[in-house]
Amino acid sequence: MTPEIKNALLGSSPSKQEEKTAPPSQPRQKKVNKAAAAPKPKASAKKEKPVQKKEGKAKEQAKQQPRQSAKQGKEKSAGTGRQRNPRGKQDKRSRIPAKDQKPVRIYYLGGLNEIGKNMTLFECGDDMFIVDCGLAFPDDDMLGVDLVIPDFTFVERNKDKIRGVVLTHGHEDHIGSLPYLLKQINVPVYGTRLTLGLVEGKLREHGILNKAKLNVIHPGDVVQMGCMSVEAIHVNHSIPDAVAFAIRTPSGTIVMTGDFKIDCTPIQGEMIDLARFAELGKEGVLALMADSTNAERPGYTKSERSVGESFDALFKKAEHRRIIIATFASNVHRVQQIIDAAVHYGRKVAVSGRSMVNVVNIGMELGYLSVPDGVLVDIDVLNRYPKDQVVIITTGSQGEPMSALTRMAMSDHRKVVVGPDDYIIISANPIPGNEKTVGHVVNELMKHGCEVVYEKMYEVHVSGHACQEELKIMLGIVKPKFFIPVHGEQKHLHKHMVLAKGMGIPADHILISEIGKVVELTPNSMKVVGTVPAGRVLVDGLGVGDVGSIVLRDRKHLAEDGLIVVVASIDAESGFVVSGPDIVSRGFVYVRESEMLMDDAKRLVRRVLEDCADKNVREWGTIKNRVREDLSRLLYERTKRSPMILPIIMEV
């Protein structure tokens, strides 16, 4: 364990004075005047009741994020102060009155056994609230699909119980589906400033920003959700303003880490509030739901600051060449380090890619990006500057087909032409499944004569998720009674379960759940009690949910074997062929090079139609099936392929 982590943990120990004054029965929770909710949301968003803000003087710690803004002052209301349990006192969860021990139900609507589409619903009594509402990107077999969002069926059925949505951070897999949800149920949304800044852009695109009820929260704030409350806790991640949640329920406290890592030297803000997690552990935590993304990786995740050191070395190496850096648009810390390096070496910065431009604008507007005057230039005027005085920050680190870097590689970018004078850095590791597309982009860039730095050639990327030792620290300081690994594929969840067992949590107190499963928690039990409608809804253009398994099957069939269209006209009275049949091939064979096959197919279709006329078969479905079956048999015998066959028969 590093000295920084030890110091952070030591900061959680209560002073003697606090031991004397803190009532043992009072948890460390302060409910503050709702009017004290930090920076106001945008004027365009409809304001909901502001968030409860904690009052009272918390013990000041070095390098700890302030719990209050200057506007809130330090007034303390009787009975609402934030207080700690004295050492040696009985576990908080064992002293909940029996009459108040309502079971808590957790509905997993996304984010388990997959990466992305994170969405979890909590229920206690007649109250429900949602944590995160993310999307996933389509698999290779989802042809034509743009996005994958959770199934909101169960949420819509219980819309009268939903008290709000709380967001852990601003990544797409946690906020991307929010516009689609708010079109169905307009409930209050709570998130940190940057998170809501990114949400506002999405809601504006969907035309629902003016109707949205957005509420800014800060670490330390408490949001009341009926009989439950949610406290935000500062964590480190690859995007600023990420938080975890301590969810207080009548049955006990549930800690949900969200995406996190322990970064002792973050680029912006303070290191993760380990002291608060430790205090919750002392008070007693019923269950921990922790990020499992890097549960397979040993050791610690490197600090984001190490990437800045690599950038410094690479900028020196680039010398007289133009530098192009591709990274995730949402990684504001990475963008800031690129800008810092550009300023240091006297280079101008241009931004390419719609999502990158959007995030940079929001980051600058909200103060999360510091860009000196005159450094940022429009990409349209890039050619006015010598190449050795320019840095381009772009999207496309995952080889996305329409991203800016891919278009540069394919000579399809309207404003940037790459060549031997370009030094290109891909500051991201390929997401599993994207290795081939990233490799293709790298190859194309090298064909243009570019020098490309990618993957682990240099330390140009670090993860935003905790590795094994950090996960152990979280388990060790929170000391949960029950443990539920979340946010990952089955292999990640299983490995996290093994780590928890090694930390002394009994096997029967650990649960790996699935999407659609309902987990019920009481002070003494954790069990699966049922299932609810859950899964994936496909978004294709403006259509939401109108593309299902049958449509995908047809698209796959068309993509693999092509299409044959048979057109013929028959006499309305006799049923014999009047004109045709004509055959149109799309994606099957080139007609001019397969005239013999097409002629045989026409003769076969004519025989089938005449045979139906002779036998007085006039039912359209029967005629079309006969044409489809006989023609399919002929084509397979001749080509070993089975195209989709679409008969079009008209009566005249």
* 244, β-bridge pairs: 233
Is 461 annotated to bind a ligand? Reply is: yes
Residue 487 is among the residues annotated as catalytic for this protein:
no
Q: Is 31 helix (H, G, I), strand (E, B) or coil?
A: coil
Q: Give dist(CA 313, CA 553) in Å, integer.
A: 50
Comparing C-alpha atoms, which of 33, 161, 71 is closest to residue 107? Answer: 161
Q: Is 170 helix (H, G, I), strand (E, B) or coil?
A: coil
Which of 241, 263, 291, 422 is the catalytic position? 291
- Is residue 494 annotated as part of the catalytic site, yes or no? no
* Residue count of the chain: 652
- Give the Å distances, CA to CA, from 377 to 311, 352, 355, 383: 20, 11, 17, 11
* 463 known ligand binder: yes
Q: Is 494 annotated as a binding residue?
A: no
Instruction: Give 582-627 as a DSSP string.
Output: EEEEESS--GGG-HHHHHHHHHHHHHHHHHHHHTT---HHHHHHHH
465 annotated to a ligand binding site = yes
The reply, when asked if residue 218 is annotated as ligand binding, is no
Question: Based on the number of CB atoms within 10 Å of its own CB, is 160 exposed (0-12), middle (13-18) or buried (19 or more)?
Answer: exposed
Q: First-to-last CA distance in the chain? A: 85
Q: Which position has the token pair 């890619």?
A: 353
Q: How far apart are CA 341 and CA 344, in angstroms?
A: 5
Examine residue 581 and say whether the peptide bond preceding it is cis (omega within 30 degrees of 0). Answer: yes
- Rounded Cα distance between 13 and 59, Å, is 10
CA atoms within 13 A on the CB side of 568: 28
Residue ranges of E strands in 235-329? 243-249, 252-256, 285-291, 322-326
Whether residue 345 contacts residue 308, with contact meaning beta carbons closer than 8 Å, is answered with: no
Among the options 174, 218, 333, 465, which is catalytic? Answer: 465
Name the pairing type of β-strands 119-124 and 127-131: antiparallel
- Among the listed residues 493, 491, 496, 494, the one whose alpha carbon sits nearest the alpha carbon of residue 475: 496
Query: What region, left, alpha or beta, does residue 208 occupy, with left being phi > 0 and alpha being psi -120 to 50 degrees?
Result: alpha
CA quadruple 279, 282, 286, 291: dihedral positive or negative? positive
Cα–Cα distance between 83 and 23 in angstroms, integer? 8
Q: CA 326 to CA 343: how far, in whole Å?
A: 18
Both structure tokens of 611 = 């045979």
Catalytic center residues: 291, 465
Annotated binding site for substrate: 461-465
Annotated binding site: 461-465
